[in-house]
Amino acid sequence: MTSRRGEYGGGGMPAGEWAPTGVDLATPNTARIYDYLLGGKDNYEADRRVAERLLEIIPQARTAARQNHLFIGRAVRYLAGLGVRQFVDIGSKLPASGNAHEVAAAVAPGARVVFADSDPVVLAHARALLTGNVDTLVERSDPSRPDAVLDEPRVRGLLDLERPTAVILDRVLHFIKDEAEAVAAVARLARALPNGFVVFTHITQEPAPESSEDVGRVFQPSTAHFWGRSRAEIERIVAPLDLVEPGLTYTSEWRGDPSEEQVDKHEHTYTLAGVGRTRS
């Protein structure tokens, strides 16, 4: 992946800061904001400004990001332990240590992973990271139609959907504004995976409903907007799935690992999550 320095002037980026070629740095990017909260380096001044304003409103935002990342790792290990060897990771995030392909490969060498996203920043980074990895594939996807990526010829060439497959919707569903559309997206995905699982995370407004408008304003300039929902609303969205124990929980509660970072209050992760089995 080629890069340039200091060619993005007007975006508030400090002179000389590194950037992938052709990437807009003037507009805050949700994947790069998440990367900053995780302690990553693939973020820029515009992203950091939004992240710091978010931390003023939700001081636990860094903890929430880390717990989201840890949950995905635990879910992938759990499913790999059940024999799942195929994963489709859909979600707006940059490559980070402990991503799905690393976790799956640690449990089951040779596990196949498709990374899918609509964000060109995410796609560029993922392609650079995974160059030469024959067990992975990077594909463009529409977050409102996560099932469509399963029909892509390259995906069909890598995966056999007759075998157990897990689709990861990491911070995807809360970017679908209309609840009925989100319900339909999960239902279509469940039908497309007759022998599979869906891993999902969804931001919830329940721990601090009074802050939702402030958070919305903070993200106004960014590349995407999310909608925090209540537990009842999220339960309706994932109703096409049979959730495995412990059901719909905060990320830090789902099969917690004592060796990982702990939180004082689970609700301060601001994210509900679960793993659901599709119905044949």
Q: What is the CATH number of the domain that holds 239?
A: 3.40.50.150
Same domain, 108 and 229: yes
Same domain, 28 and 159: no
Write the CB contacts of 112 (distance below 8 Å, at least 6 apart in sequence): 85, 86, 87, 135, 136, 137, 158, 159
> What is the pLDDT at residue 126?
81
Count of domains forming the chain? 2
Instruction: Give the domain range for residue 231.
Output: 61-277
> What is the pLDDT at residue 21?
63
Same domain, 166 and 44: no
Of 170, 168, 39, 20, which Cα lies nearest the Cα of 96? Answer: 39
Same domain, 194 and 268: yes
Same domain, 46 and 99: no
Cβ atoms 77, 53 nearer than 8 A: no
Same domain, 210 and 250: yes
Per-residue pLDDT 10s for the chain (280 aa) are 333 333 323 334 444 455 556 667 788 888 889 999 999 888 889 999 999 999 999 999 999 999 999 999 999 999 999 999 999 999 867 766 778 888 988 998 999 999 998 888 788 878 887 888 889 999 999 888 999 999 999 999 999 999 999 999 998 999 898 999 999 999 999 999 988 999 999 999 888 776 767 677 777 766 667 788 999 999 999 999 999 999 999 999 999 999 999 999 999 999 999 999 998 7
Domain boundary among 37, 57, 77: 57
Whole-model pTM above 0.75? Answer: yes
Taking the CA of residue 50 as centre, how many other CA atoms within 13 Å lie in the half-sphere pointing to its CB? 29
Q: Please state, in angstroms and rounded to a whole number, the distance separating the CA atoms of residues 237 and 144.
A: 13
pLDDT tens for 178-204 read 999 999 999 999 999 988 999 999 999
Q: Please state, in angstroms and rounded to a whole number, the distance separating the CA atoms of residues 52 and 37.
A: 9
> What is the pLDDT at residue 223?
65
Q: Please state, in angstroms and rounded to a whole number, the distance separating the CA atoms of residues 143 and 149.
A: 10
Same domain, 50 and 77: no
pLDDT tens for 212-248 read 676 777 777 666 677 889 999 999 999 999 999 999 9
Specify the amino acid at residue 16.
Answer: G
> What is the pLDDT at residue 7?
30
Same domain, 66 and 25: no
Cβ atoms 85, 163 nearer than 8 A: yes
> What is the pLDDT at residue 95?
67
Cβ atoms 19, 25 nearer than 8 A: yes
Q: Please state, in angstroms and rounded to a whole number, the distance separating the CA atoms of residues 191 and 187.
A: 6
In the chain, % of residues over pLDDT 90: 59
Same domain, 85 and 21: no
